[in-house]
Amino acid sequence: MSSTPSGDREKVVSKLPPSLQQLLKIRTAQLRIDIQHAVEEGITAWRGLGSNLSPVDTAGAKSFSTWLPEGQWDTFRTDCTHRGVSLIQGLAQSVSLWLETHPAPGVQRPSVVRRIVVCNQKGGVGKTAVAAGAAEAMAEDPDTLHPVGVSKHFAHALAEADPDATPVELEDLPGLGLRVLLVDFDPQGHLTKQLGHDLLPLDGDSLTKHMSGDSHGKLKDLIVTVADERFGDRLHLLPSCTDAFLLDVKLSGVRAREAALERALSPVESDYDVILIDCPPSLGLSMDAAAYYGRRRDSEAPGNSGILVVVQAEDSSADAYGLLTSQIDDLRSDMHLELDYLGIVVNHYDARRGYIATSSLESWMAIRNPRVVGLIGDLKEQKEAVRVKQPLLAYAPQCTQAVALRALAREIA
């Protein structure tokens, strides 16, 4: 609730049904309005009505406080008496009126499907966990509040890198409610297994076959739902198949092979707002196809799609980062691509590892183009979620990693 008054306001205390309090909290967060201003507007509108509204069930009403302009509450109390309703009933009608006249905003759909290529040619940096967590955060229920914020280490690093930066605090925000497709582009199939699904059979259809021109059916028939009520039917997965180990060989004989992934996925793009590609740890032809898929298309805004690089706070990640960016730069120049970096995510961070971790983080933060957009801690909840084959944000939605992944999703969505 609103806790800091602005201007000449006074604190008022009354009661509201818990359901109305929760709806008010969610709706004001969706509309980015302070609760105090919503209640003020609701009372003003209610006082202007020619008659009372239908009674609101106020059974079980609990304490509710906010800040209103000086004098408004006393005048409202008098109006309630004159109109023959209790103060609690009048407040409930006022809040209900505000909710009715301020509907929840629709989810903002991108005009061009957002394509996020999550990559690093070094294995073990946690690309899969970052891809899955960011996708889960993007698909969360827009009519429910979820804790969002960055780790204290990232907040400190941001302040060190930019002393004028606005402090980042933990806050409850509505889910983004986007329709998201996760593509397991790694033949090892870690993403598919972590989310509790089986790899596609070798003798059936697969993304590899669609990319190489050997498909047997429609790609959409291979897509499965990541089932959990917090995602609704918004989070989907294109599972991996071990035939992807042969993808580079198959692509070598394909015409315009750099566009093979785009050709395969284009039939399903209209069904989604965001498509995240969990890339294999390689710099081969498959990586070329993934990078090409993330290029900026005609009329697409800069930063809508592109490359998200996942690293760790240690030296070998820096070496791998150099190899990856060299390949991206070559693609840009050789094929004249507008290929944007969406940022760097430092994963598996643990300050308790001492100087190597903290100094490496400082080095990553010193890179301004692309900049660090997320810092994800190395905590037990992610490992536990993998063990039980559940999405992290369903298994431990309040954990520090989940909170940081929601902040990352808002940076890149």
Q: How long, in residues, is the chain?
A: 413
**Confidence band of 168 (pLDDT split at 50, 70, 90):** low
Give the pLDDT of residue 155: 73
CB-count exposure of residue 3 (10 Å: 0-12, 13-18, 19+): exposed
Element at 12 (helix H, strand E): strand 9-16
Query: What is the spatial distance between Cα 257 and Cα 134, in angstroms, rounded to a whole number?
Result: 28
Whether pLDDT at 265 is above 50: yes
Residue 379 has pLDDT above 90, yes or no: no
Task: Give the DSSP H or E segment for 92.
Answer: helix 87-101
Closest CA relative to residue 131, chosen from 232, 275, 228: 275
For residue 319, give the amino acid letter.
Answer: D
The whole-number average pLDDT for the span 270-285 is: 92
DSSP string, 368-406: -SSPEEEEEE--HHHHHHHHTT--HHHH-TTSHHHHHHH
Looking at residues 73-91, what average pLDDT do you find? 96
> Can you give the pTM of this predicted structure?
0.87
The predicted structure's pLDDT at residue 2: 42
Q: What is the pLDDT of residues 189-238, one digit of tens each?
A: 999 999 999 999 999 999 999 999 898 899 999 999 999 999 999 999 99
Q: Work out the average pLDDT over 144-170.
A: 72
Q: How confident is the model at residue 166 (pLDDT cuts 50, 70, 90)?
A: low
> 138 or 1, which is more confident?
138
Domain boundaries, the chain: 9-101, 114-412
Alpha carbon distance 257, 11 (integer Å): 65
User: What was the pLDDT predicted at 323?
Assistant: 84
Higher pLDDT among residues 4 and 198, named by residue: 198
Give the model's pLDDT for residue 153: 66
pLDDT one-digit tens code per residue, 107-148: 888 889 999 999 987 778 889 999 999 999 999 999 999 999
- Percent of the chain residues past pLDDT 70, beyond the cut: 94
**CB-neighbour burial class of residue 355 (10 A; exposed 0-12, middle 13-18, buried 19+):** exposed
DSSP labels, 144-198: SEEEE---HHHHHHHHHH-TTSPPP--EEEE-----EEEEE--TT-HHHHHTT-P
Give the number of other Cβ atoms within 10 Å of residue 32's Cβ: 8
Residue spans of alpha helices (H) in 32-71: 35-47
Q: Is the pLDDT of residue 249 over 70?
A: yes
Q: Is the pLDDT confidence value at 4 over 60? A: no
Residue bearing the bigger pLDDT, 294 or 5: 294
DSSP character at residue 228: B
pLDDT at 256: 86
pLDDT over 90 (residue 252): no
Q: What is the pLDDT of residue 250?
A: 87
Cα torsion angle, 272, 278, 279, 280, sign: negative
Q: Does domain 114-412 have CATH number 3.40.50.300?
A: yes
Contacts 24+ apart (CB under 8 A), 262-270: 262/289, 262/292, 262/293, 263/210, 263/211, 264/207, 264/210, 264/211, 264/219, 265/183, 265/219, 265/293, 267/218, 267/219, 267/220, 268/181, 268/219, 268/220, 268/223, 269/113, 270/113
